[in-house]
Amino acid sequence: MSEAIEKLTGPAMAEIRLIHQTSVFNNGTVADTFYTGRIGLNDPLAYYERQLLHEIDGLAPARAYHEIGGGIGLIPITLGLTGRRAVNIDNTRSRISHGARILESLSLDDATLPDRVQMVCASAPDVFDSLDTRGAYAISTNIGAVRSPEFVESFLKAVQARYSAFIFDVCLLFGIFRTAEEWDERLELLEFIWKQRPKLLFETGGPGRYYVVNFE
Ligand SMILES: C[S@@+](CC[C@H](N)C(=O)[O-])C[C@H]1O[C@@H](n2cnc3c(N)ncnc32)[C@H](O)[C@@H]1O
């Protein structure tokens, strides 16, 4: 995994610098500053992504890994660099385009990478119908804004129906849940929906708490 992360770093940082410039050139009108902090650190991966990738190495292998709301897709690309099959699902076209350029650049050294890694611009859960999810793990790190309880429930049921396992950060599962009480409430809701309690995978050291649930 460390070797894959090393391969990712140059091409991913080059693209992340372009995202930053786009937001400056557009003078705030089309600003995507989500990745800007990574420039100062010269590290394309957020600390939670790096930890997650190392944890995945310790899990039973899946047929494929699908990140939902993966942004520019650094987790799926890194998994592809380790020889795994992976899909980045994101409904923001510019993020998928930046991910595709990173993939293109890395493919110059590894022509088989595009056979293993797919960039899909679409919204979950509707997109699940058009993907091969058999034996695949779904992953969500940070999927952004708060959603209605109805949407969250239907999304979680769709993940259970389609995927063999789901790895997710309970702190950032559709909105930010920062306290122990909020995490517990979420876990109870998840147990109610899935009829099983997810297992703690790791804590990030910050508010992040990653869980895994096996559906098979
Ligand atoms: C805050 S960003 C995080 C990106 C990446 N996971 C990370 O942590 O670096 C959340 C991403 O989720 C995507 N997203 C939100 N809801 C989605 C949905 N229903 N289907 C697909 N993508 C979604 C957004 O377009 C955005 O790129």
For residue 36, being part of any structural domain is answered with: no
Q: Is 124 in the pocket of ligand 1 (CB under 6 A)?
A: yes
Q: What pLDDT shows up at residue 119?
A: 98
pLDDT in tens, the chain (216 residues): 999 999 999 999 999 998 877 665 555 555 677 888 898 899 999 999 999 999 999 999 999 999 999 999 999 999 999 999 999 999 999 899 999 999 999 999 999 999 999 999 999 999 999 999 999 999 999 888 878 889 999 999 999 999 999 999 998 888 877 788 888 888 999 999 999 999 999 999 888 899 999 998
Q: What pLDDT shows up at residue 173?
A: 86
Residue pair 169/179 in contact by the 8 Å Cβ criterion: no
Q: What pLDDT shows up at residue 135?
A: 97
Residue pair 141/53 in contact by the 8 Å Cβ criterion: no
Type and span of the H or E element at 66: strand 64-68
Domain that residue 54 falls in: 46-214
Q: What pLDDT shows up at residue 194?
A: 97
For residue 156, being part of any structural domain is answered with: yes
Domain count, the chain: 1
For residue 32, being part of any structural domain is answered with: no
For residue 22, being part of any structural domain is answered with: no
Q: What pLDDT shows up at residue 44?
A: 95
For residue 57, being part of any structural domain is answered with: yes
Ligand 1 geometric centre to CA of 172 (Å): 11
In angstroms, the CA 194 to CA 191 distance is 5
Q: What pLDDT shows up at residue 27?
A: 54
Residue nearest to atom 4 of ligand 1 (CA): 71
Q: CATH code at 199?
A: 3.40.50.150
In angstroms, the CA 109 to CA 80 distance is 13
For residue 113, being part of any structural domain is answered with: yes
Q: Is 190 in the pocket of ligand 1 (CB under 6 A)?
A: no
Q: What pLDDT shows up at residue 146?
A: 79
DSSP type of residue 21: H
Q: What pLDDT shows up at residue 113?
A: 98
Task: List the one residue out of 21, 161, 155, 44 whose CA is nearest residue 99.
Answer: 44
For residue 5, being part of any structural domain is answered with: no
For residue 170, being part of any structural domain is answered with: yes
Q: Is 144 in the pocket of ligand 1 (CB under 6 A)?
A: yes
Ligand 1 geometric centre to CA of 144 (Å): 6
Helix (H, G, I), strand (E, B) or coil at 119: strand
